[in-house]
Structure formats: structure tokens, C-alpha cells
Copies of this chain bind each other. A is one copy, B any other.
Amino acid sequence: MLKVPLHQVAGHQACDGKLGPLVDESGRFCKPLQSDERGSDEVAFYTSFSSNTRIPDHIRRFFPVFYGTQLLEASDGSGLHPHLVLQDLVSKHLNPSIMDVKIGSRTWPPESSEDYIKKCLKKDRESTSLALGFRISGLQIYGSKESGYWKPEKKLIQKFSAEDVRLFLRKFVSSNASADSDLEPDCSFASVVYGGSTGILAQLLELKAWLEDQTIFHFYSCSVLLVYENELALKGSSSGAEVKLVDFAHVLEGRGVIDHNFLGGLCSLIKFISEILTTPDEYTTKACLQDSEKNHFFSDSGTNE
């Protein structure tokens, strides 16, 4: 029985009679193929990736398992439509907190059409992609049984500044983050979610090491999903923290060159997360100092590093 996923934070969504992904109870995520070349390109990527013997196992686990394609009833009622059948990344989670981070300061592949470049470049400049090397595309934070999930609106997320990104990466691992809270994020889950030998930072660093060397794929407009389980994090020992890569409609062959665009953005995200781990309480102080510094080009007051 296919149904609309409960925990989708970005991308096309199957609600109100629109075309979007569906999940089943056996842990499969069925994503309708986009009708243009993006659909076939994503199938080509999964087909190639899943049979590629040069992908080490510790890297393969960052990617959804691919079960092939299948004709399924589309969520928009338009009849049979080809779908990618993938692993549902959050099916084993009860109340996942999820963040979708689109990596790369450039979301367009080198040989794109002029129109496509223009469209993407505009988005990259208006969002934080150009400045930070990544942008937050969606998120949900689980609060408690009473408060449920906090899922900021798409329009709000699209307007995130660099400081908003810094703030939301903190809120994401805080027990006091909610829609109506202006509280300083307490970052109380930072060490169990971001930190530790199996935490998000350690996983991102593994991915980074592979990207410094691999020249098989270039991942444009691809996201990393950061997922953890609030109730596990509350217990303090583990958090079920996972990093997954998703969205491969713009993957190109690397042709002997590393994916410097994805790698650069990933390193920037890593730095943001490292700073939360080393200075969990410094958000406000730091932001204020930085603001006051904006008119002091190349000042040496030691505050912006």
C-alpha cells in the first residue's frame, strides 16, 4: 500500500493531487521519474552506481539502496508512471529530525544551457550557496510528543542568510528549538548528534576523504540529509545520527577530475558543524561581534575566526 511520506522536508511533494514520491510499509521510497532528461539521468546514475565495483562499502552506505524502476500509480491520479524504487531512508526512524543541505556553491554542471545557468546562478546568488558553498533546502525538528515537529516554511528557508544557517544548524541539535521560541539554542544534542566516532561530523569527514580522491562522479545539485532520532539523543548515549546523499538528477561523469565544487561546499559545512562542537554557547556573542566588524575590512581584532 503506497502512501505519502510523513517525513519529506524538500523536493516535490505528493499532496493535494500533485506528483510526488510515495512510500510503502516495507521501507521503499518510490520517486516518480521527472519527465525530462533529469528522470533518465537519475536512473542512469543509480544503475551505474549500484553496479560500480570501485565504490567502497563504507561509502556505499551513504547512498540509498536502489531496487530498480517500476511503473506505479502516480500520486496525482494520472495513471501509471515510472518510478525509481529506492530505500526509504527514514522508515526505521520513529520521530526523525531531518535537515536537507544542498551542497556546492554552483548547482549547475559545466555544459548546461545558458538559460539553465542563468536560472541556477540566480538561485545560488540569492541563497547562501554562493557564499557558504551550501544551502539548507528543508528541515524538520522533532520537539516532543506534545509539540510534535517544527517544520519551517519553504519560503522562510529560501531566504536564509549565512547567520540563519549558522543559527539553524544549532537549533537542529537543540532541545529548546521551536516555532515560537526566541531562546538561544541550547545545543544540548550537539555532542551526541554531531560529535562522537559515529556522529554526523565523523560521517561527513569520511565522505570528504572519499571526495578528495574519487573522480568517478560529479554531484551537482545533490543534497546531504542529516537525520537523527530525538528520543535517542535525549537518552544521551547515541542518537541514530545518519548522513545520506540524495538527489542525483544532475550527476556527471568525473572524467579523472575530483568534484571540487561538492568537496569545497562539504568542507564548509564541516567547518560550521565543527564550530558548534567546539563552541556550543558562542552563537550570540560571535554573531554580534561579527556584525560590528562588518565595516572594518581586514581588522585584526581576532573575533571572526
Q: Is the CB of A298 within 8 A of B215?
A: no
Bound Cα distance from A298 to B49, whole angstroms: 8
A261 contacts partner chain B, Cβ-Cβ < 8 Å:
yes
Q: Is the CB of B253 within 8 A of A44?
A: no
With known contacts A131-B110, A271-B258, A298-B47, A253–B216 Cβ distance under 8 A: no
Q: How many copies does the complex hold?
A: 2
Q: Is the CB of B256 within 8 A of A264?
A: no
Bound Cα distance from A265 to B47, whole angstroms: 29
Q: Mark A121-158, 1 if CB is under 8 A from B, else 0.
A: 00001000011110000000000000000000000000
Question: Contact residue range for chain A?
Answer: 35 or more
Q: Which residues on B sit within 8 Å (CB–CB) of A215? A: 271, 304-305
Q: Is the CB of A132 within 8 A of B286?
A: no
Shortest beta-carbon distance from A52 to chain B in Å: 5
Q: Which residues on B sit within 8 Å (CB–CB) of A265? A: 260, 264
Q: Is the CB of B271 within 8 A of A305?
A: no
Q: From A125, A131, A264, A305, name the one whose CB has the most chain B CB atoms within 10 angstroms.
A: A264
Q: Is the CB of B298 within 8 A of A255?
A: no
A19-51: which residues lie under 8 A (CB-CB) from chain B?
44-45, 47-49, 51
Q: B45, B125, B212, B216: which contacts A304 (Cβ < 8 A)?
A: B216
A257 contacts partner chain B, Cβ-Cβ < 8 Å:
yes
Bound Cα distance from A298 to B215, whole angstroms: 12
Shortest beta-carbon distance from A195 to chain B in Å: 18
- In this complex, what residue of B is CB-closest to A265? B260
Q: B44, B162, B254: which contacts A255 (Cβ < 8 A)?
A: B162
Q: Which residues on B sit within 8 Å (CB–CB) of A213? A: 271
A246-263: which residues lie under 8 A (CB-CB) from chain B?
253-258, 260-261, 263
Q: A133-B260, A257-B271 are in contact. List 13 more A-B contacts (CB 8 A).
A: A44-B298, A48-B299, A48-B300, A54-B302, A110-B130, A133-B258, A215-B304, A215-B305, A253-B298, A256-B290, A257-B268, A258-B271, A264-B265
The 10 closest A-B pairs by CB, nearest first: A264-B264, A48-B298, A260-B264, A133-B260, A260-B268, A258-B271, A215-B305, A52-B300, A110-B130, A263-B264
